[in-house]
Amino acid sequence: MEQRVIEAEHIVKKFGNFAAVDDISFYVEKGEIFGFLGANGAGKTTAMRMFCGLSRPSSGKGMVAGLDIWSASEKIKSRIGYMSQKFSLYSDLTVGENIRLFGGIYGLDEERMKKSGDMLLKKLDMYGEKDVLVKSLPLGWKQKLAFSVSVIHDPEIVFLDEPTGGVDPVARRQFWELIYEAAGRGITVFVTTHYMDEAEYCDRVSIMVAGKIVALDTPANLKKSYGVNAMNDVFTIIARNAGRNE
């Protein structure tokens, strides 16, 4: 059996009477690119924060990288990478300073930091920008840098919360090639996106509506079972049905 790096069983997160995440169960296997889809407000970010050890469920069980999300949330943080759309790098530090800062936070020693940092700059073709403030980089570059920093410590899993929102088509593709490559190295990728062509790049996707997972399968199987040719149509059908049930 493939190794499972995320396992969720009946996870619920309530804010007052409102269940932002309403009894979700699923697993993610090692090295998978798992797409976590849903409309704005469906509960994706709330769920992701629980898997990253940033908040606790109201009920249910969960394991991330073999660690319990109830009892080992601090340990989980050192075994994963996390990148959010809104906050990912310090804009008033340079590229090099950000790499050192995050390398330090993720516990790299001086030697490994130097080696990983140099490799990262070389791979992104950003050696010339080492001393440039992050705020003066184009968004596409920032996001590629943020991703590379979030996997600088070779985590078991990296969580990406809408990493390509607002990024143009060329830069989005460059970003996904970094994801492919990380997955090829055995890093599990858990990603949310609003771009349905990106959903096609995932090994499996889940679609959340109002706190529940209403569909979960490979893109090919989802398209087959909804009788359509593109993930965009799957998403539209599911969202439309949800509107009727509310």
Partner 1 sequence: MIKAEHISKSYVSAGHAPVKALDDVSFSVSDGELFGLIGPDGSGKTTMFRILVTLILADKGVASVNGMDVVKDYEKIRNSVGYMPGRFSVYQDLTVNENINFFASLFGVDKEESMPLIEDIYGSLRPFGNRLAGALSGGMKQKLALCCALIHKPDVLFLDEPTTGVDPVSRKEFWQMLRNLRSNGITIMVSTPYMDEADMCDKIALMQKGMILALDTTENLISQMGNQVWGVSGNNMYKLLCDVRSYRGTLRCYPFGNSHHVFFNSQEPDISDFGNYLWGCGNENVKIERLEPCIEDCYLYITDGRRI
Q: Which tokens is 94 given?
A: 């340079």
- Least Å from the CB of residue 112 to partner 1: 27
* Min separation Cβ 124 and partner 1, Å: 11
- Looking at the Cβ atoms of 62 and 219, the one nearer to partner 1 is 219
Nearer Cβ to partner 1 (71/245):
245
DSSP tally for the chain: helices H, then strands E: 9, 10
Q: How far is the CB of 105 from partner 1 (least distance, A)?
A: 26
Task: Enumerate binding residues for partner 1 (CB under 8 A).
Answer: 38-41, 85, 125, 138-140, 162, 165-171, 173, 176-177, 180-181, 183-184, 194, 196-197, 200-201, 219-220, 230-232, 235-236, 239-240
Backbone φ, ψ for residue 168 (5° rounding): -75, 165
Give dist(CA 78, CA 114) in Å, integer: 19
Least distance between partner 1 and beta carbon 41 (Å): 4
Angle (deg, nearest 10), helices 95-105 and 139-150: 30
* Biggest alpha carbon–alpha carbon distance for the chain: 57
Between 18 and 74, CB nearer to partner 1: 18
Q: Which is nearer to partner 1, 106 or 147 (CB)?
A: 147
Angle in degrees, CA 133, 134, 138, rounded to 5: 120
